C-alpha cells in the first residue's frame, strides 16, 4: 500500500472516530434534555437535583460546541457556523418545556381562583372536612405556583418572558385575593378550637370536630405565615432569596398583607379598645390604671398554655430555633396597647402626681408579673417592658424619680415616728438561732430597700437604672443619719431603753443587708463602701457607749482592798452583760463580749492590781476572785469561736506566786540582760504578756512573805 492509500485510510478512521464522538455527544445531550423536560413535566423540582441536571446539560453543550469548532471541517465542509443549529435545538426543547410549564401554571391559577370564589361564598355552610380539603387544594396550588416561579429564577429565564411576567403579576396581584379569605376562615376557627380567651369550653363541638378545627387553625396560621414572609420550611422549594426579594419583600403598594400574629391577637385588641379606649366605657377610668393592666396580665396567664400547646409547635416548625414564642408575641402586642393607652392618658394626668405615680406603680407590678410568666423576658428584649417607651421620654422619668424620692422620705419619717418602731419582731428569744434582733423599724426599712431594688430591675434603660440604684444608696445613708440623730438625742445611762437597743440592732441589721447587696453586685461598690464605713463608725460609737458604762461602773464600785465584796461587784457586771445579750443581736454580742472582757481586764489591772499591795492572803483572794468571779462572768459565753485568755491577770498571778529568791534573780537579770534576753527569761517563768517594767512594778507590790 502506497503512502496515499495509508493517508486515506487514516483520514477515514479519523472521520469515523469524529462521527462516533459527535453521535455519542448528541445522544448524551438529548438524554440530559429529556431528563430536564421530565423533571418539569412530572414536577420533580428538587432544587439540588434540578440544578445538577442543568449544570451537566450546560457543560455537555459547551463541550459539544468546542468539539464542533475544532472538527467542523471534517464534519461539514459547507458549514461556517455549525454550533448555531445545536443551540437552536436546545432552545427549541427549552421552549417546549416552558410552554408545558405555562400550561400547568395556568391550570393551577384557574383552579385556585375557582376554589377561592367557592370558599368565599360558601365556607360557613361547609362541613369542617370540606373546608379542610379545599384549603389543602388551595395551599397545594399555591405551593406549586411558587415552585414554578422559583424554577424560572433557578434556570435564569428572562424577566421579560411571558411566563415569568404572568407568574410575577399573579403573585403580586391576583394570588393575594385569597389572603383576606384565608384571614376570614382563620378567624372563623377561633370559636371552635376551645380557645380560653374566646370561650372557656369547646361548647357544642364534638371532640373529633375540636381536633379538626384545631388542625385547620394550625394549617391556616402556617399558610398565613408563608404568605407574609415568603418562607417555606420543609418543602421542596429552596427558600430562594431572589423570590423572597422579588415577591414578598418588594415595595408593591398594591400587595395585600395580613400579618398572622395581628390576626391571631385581633380579639384581644378589639376587647381592649372596647373596654379601655372607648370614652363611653366605665372601665376607661384614669383613676384605675390597674383595671386595664390586670386584664392584660390575666389574658396572658389564661392563654399562655393554649398558645404553648397549639401555636408554638407551628412557630418552631416554621421559624426553627429562632426563639419565636406566641406568648412573647402576645406580650409585644399588649405593650403596644399599653403605649397607645398611655399616649391618651398621660397628658390628662399632667397636673396629678398621685394618679401618675399610681400608674407607674401598676406598670412596675405588671412588668414583674409578666417576667414571672416569661423569665428573662426583659434581658432578651428590654423593649418588651412597657416602661421602656415611657421612660425613653426623660421628662417622665424625672417626674417619676422626684415623686418616688418624696414618697420615700414620707415613708421613712412614718417608720421612725411610729410608736411601735422599736418593738421587737424577731430574734428576742435567746433560744432562737438568729444572728439579728429585728425591730419594726428595721424590718419595714429593709422591706422598703428590697422593694426599691425590685423596682429598679424593671427600669429598662441602663443609665436610668443606675441613677435609681444610686438613689437607694442615698436612701440608706439618709436612714443612717436619721438613726444617728435619734441615738444622739437619747441622753441615757444604764439601764438603756428598748429604743436605744433597737436603734443599735437596726444599725447592725441594715449594715449587714447593705454589705450583702454589695457582695451580690446590686450596688456600685465605691458608693456603698462610703455608706458602710459610716454604719460601722456608728455601731462602734454606740457599742463604745455601752462598754464605757460597764467599765465606768466597774471602776467606781470596785473595793479599795481585796475582800469578798468583789464577788458582789462581779455579779453585778455579769447581770449587765446578760442584759446586753438579751437586747442586742448575736451578731453584735459576739463582737462586743470580747471588747468588754478586754476592757474590764485592763480596768481591773490598772485600777486595782497596780494600785494595791498583795500579801499571801491577798494573793489567794485575788486568785479566787479571778478564777471564780471574773472568769466566771465570761466562761458562759465561751465556745469554739470565742475563747477568753485574760493573759494579763494570769501573768500577774504568776509574778505574785514567785518565790523571794526568784524575785532577786529577776531583778538581777534585768540589770545585766538585754531586753530580748530578759523577755526570754520571763517566758521560762511562764510570763508572756507583761512588759519587763510591769513585772518589776508587780514585784514591788508583793509584801509580807512570812
For the question of whether the overall pTM of this predicted structure is more than 0.85, the answer is: no
167 close to 243: Cβ distance less than 8 angstroms: no
Rg of the chain (C-alpha set): 47
pLDDT at 692: 92
Interhelix angle 83-122/3-41, nearest 10 degrees: 10
182 close to 292: Cβ distance less than 8 angstroms: no
514/511 Cα distance (integer angstroms): 5
460 close to 383: Cβ distance less than 8 angstroms: yes
Residues sharing a CB contact under 8 Å with residue 316, sequence separation 6 or more, in sequence order: 324
672 close to 692: Cβ distance less than 8 angstroms: no
**DSSP secondary structure, 250-313, as one string:** S--TT-----HHHHHHHHHHHHHIIIII-TT-TT--TT-HHHHHHHHHHHHHHHHHHIIIIIHH
pLDDT at 61: 62
Residues sharing a CB contact under 8 Å with residue 8, sequence separation 6 or more, in sequence order: none
pLDDT at 15: 47
Which residue bears the cell 368565599?
120
Strand partners, 439: 424
665/645 Cα distance (integer angstroms): 28
The third-level CATH classification (topology) of the domain covering 394-544 is Tetracycline Repressor; domain 2 (1.10.357)
pLDDT at 574: 84
pLDDT at 432: 45
293/296 Cα distance (integer angstroms): 5
Phi, psi of 250 (to 5 degrees): -75, 150
53 close to 40: Cβ distance less than 8 angstroms: no
- Taking residue 129's Cβ as centre, other Cβ atoms within 10 Å add up to 11
Burial of residue 396 (number of CB atoms within 10 Å: 0-12, 13-18, 19+): middle
Q: String of b and e for 57-66 (b: at least 16 CB within 10 Å)?
A: beebbeebee
Q: Which residues of the chain have pLDDT under 50?
A: 1-8, 10-15, 40-47, 71-89, 199, 201-207, 430-432, 706
Domain boundaries of the chain, sorted by first residue: 3-81, 105-257, 259-390, 394-544, 570-701
Strand partners, 438: 426
Give the helix ranges, DSSP H, for 346-376.
353-373
> Which cell is 644 given?
477568753
| Closest C-alpha to 166, from 209, 107, 82 | 107
Would strands 438-439 and 424-426 be described as parallel, antiparallel, or unpaired?
A: antiparallel
pLDDT at 563: 55
169/41 Cα distance (integer angstroms): 23
Amino acid at each position: 500500500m502506497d503512502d496515499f492509500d495509508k493517508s486515506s485510510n487514516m483520514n477515514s478512521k479519523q472521520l469515523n472516530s469524529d462521527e462516533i464522538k459527535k453521535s455519542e455527544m448528541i445522544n448524551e445531550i438529548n438524554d440530559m434534555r429529556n431528563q430536564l423536560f421530565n423533571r418539569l413535566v412530572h414536577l420533580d423540582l428538587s432544587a439540588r437535583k434540578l440544578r445538577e441536571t442543568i449544570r451537566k446539560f450546560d457543560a455537555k453543550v459547551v463541550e459539544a460546541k468546542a468539539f464542533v469548532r475544532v472538527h467542523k471541517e471534517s464534519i461539514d465542509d459547507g458549514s461556517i457556523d455549525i454550533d448555531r443549529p445545536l443551540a437552536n435545538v436546545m432552545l427549541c426543547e427549552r421552549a417546549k418545556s416552558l410552554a408545558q410549564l405555562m400550561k400547568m401554571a395556568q391550570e393551577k391559577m384557574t383552579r385556585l381562583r375557582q376554589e377561592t370564589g367557592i370558599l368565599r361564598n360558601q365556607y360557613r355552610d361547609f362541613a369542617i372536612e370540606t373546608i379542610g380539603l379545599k384549603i389543602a387544594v388551595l395551599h397545594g396550588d399555591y405551593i406549586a405556583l411558587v415552585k414554578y416561579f422559583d424554577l424560572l429564577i433557578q434556570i435564569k429565564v428572562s424577566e421579560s418572558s411571558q411566563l415569568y411576567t404572568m407568574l410575577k403579576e399573579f403573585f403580586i396581584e391576583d394570588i393575594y385575593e385569597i389572603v383576606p379569605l384565608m384571614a376570614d376562615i382563620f378567624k372563623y376557627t377561633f370559636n371552635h378550637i376551645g380557645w380560653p380567651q374566646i370561650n372557656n369550653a369547646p361548647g357544642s363541638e364534638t371532640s373529633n370536630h375540636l381536633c379538626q378545627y384545631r388542625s385547620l387553625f394550625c394549617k391556616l396560621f402556617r399558610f398565613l405565615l408563608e404568605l407574609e414572609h415568603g418562607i417555606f420550611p420543609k418543602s421542596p422549594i429552596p427558600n430562594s432569596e431572589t423570590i423572597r426579594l422579588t415577591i414578598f419583600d418588594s415595595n408593591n403598594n398594591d400587595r395585600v398583607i395580613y400579618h398572622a400574629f395581628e390576626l391571631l391577637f385581633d380579639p384581644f385588641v378589639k376587647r381592649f379598645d372596647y373596654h379601655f379606649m372607648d370614652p363611653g366605657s366605665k372601665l376607661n377610668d384614669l383613676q384605675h390604671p390597674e383595671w386595664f393592666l390586670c386584664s392584660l396580665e390575666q389574658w396572658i396567664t389564661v392563654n399562655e398554655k393554649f398558645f404553648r400547646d397549639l401555636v408554638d409547635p407551628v412557630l418552631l416548625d416554621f421559624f426553627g430555633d429562632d426563639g419565636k414564642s406566641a406568648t412573647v408575641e402576645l406580650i409585644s402586642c399588649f405593650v403596644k396597647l399599653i403605649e397607645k393607652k398611655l399616649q391618651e392618658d398621660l397628658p390628662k394626668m399632667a397636673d396629678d402626681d398621685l394618679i401618675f405615680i399610681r400608674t407607674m406603680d401598676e406598670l412596675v407590678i405588671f412588668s414583674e408579673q409578666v417576667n414571672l410568666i416569661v423569665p428573662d423576658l426583659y434581658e432578651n428584649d428590654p423593649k418588651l417592658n412597657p416602661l421602656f417607651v415611657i421612660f425613653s421620654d426623660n421628662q417622665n422619668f424625672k417626674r417619676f424619680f422626684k415623686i418616688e424620692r418624696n414618697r420615700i422620705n414620707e415613708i421613712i419619717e412614718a417608720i421612725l415616728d411610729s410608736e411601735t418602731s422599736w418593738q421587737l419582731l424577731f430574734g428576742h428569744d435567746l433560744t432562737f438561732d438568729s444572728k439579728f434582733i429585728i425591730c419594726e423599724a428595721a424590718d419595714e426599712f429593709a422591706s422598703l430597700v428590697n422593694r426599691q431594688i425590685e423596682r429598679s430591675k424593671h427600669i429598662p434603660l441602663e443609665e436610668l437604672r443606675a441613677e435609681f440604684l444610686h438613689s437607694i444608696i442615698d436612701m440608706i445613708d439618709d436612714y443612717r443619719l436619721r438613726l444617728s440623730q435619734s441615738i444622739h438625742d437619747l441622753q441615757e445611762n444604764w439601764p438603756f431603753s428598748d429604743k436605744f437597743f433597737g436603734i443599735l440592732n437596726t444599725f447592725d441589721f441594715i449594715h449587714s443587708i447593705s454589705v450583702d447587696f454589695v457582695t451580690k453586685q446590686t450596688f456600685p461598690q465605691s458608693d456603698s463602701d462610703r455608706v458602710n464605713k459610716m454604719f460601722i463608725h456608728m455601731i462602734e460609737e454606740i457599742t463604745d457607749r455601752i462598754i464605757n458604762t460597764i467599765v465606768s461602773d466597774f471602776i467606781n464600785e470596785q473595793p479599795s482592798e481585796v475582800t469578798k465584796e468583789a464577788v458582789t461587784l462581779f455579779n453585778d457586771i455579769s447581770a449587765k452583760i446578760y442584759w446586753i445579750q438579751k437586747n442586742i443581736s448575736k451578731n453584735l454580742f459576739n463582737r462586743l463580749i470580747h471588747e468588754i472582757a478586754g476592757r474590764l481586764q485592763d480596768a481591773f489591772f490598772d485600777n486595782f492590781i497596780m494600785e494595791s499591795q498583795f500579801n499571801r492572803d491577798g494573793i489567794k483572794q485575788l486568785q479566787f476572785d479571778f478564777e471564780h468571779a471574773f472568769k466566771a462572768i465570761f466562761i458562759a459565753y465561751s465556745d469554739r469561736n470565742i475563747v477568753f485568755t485574760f493573759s494579763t491577770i494570769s501573768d500577774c498571778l504568776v509574778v505574785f506566786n514567785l518565790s523571794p529568791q526568784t524575785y532577786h534573780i529577776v531583778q538581777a537579770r534585768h540589770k545585766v540582760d538585754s531586753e530580748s534576753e530578759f523577755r526570754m527569761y520571763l517566758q521560762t517563768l511562764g510570763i508572756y504578756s507583761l512588759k519587763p517594767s510591769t513585772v518589776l512594778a508587780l514585784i514591788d507590790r508583793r509584801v509580807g512573805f512570812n
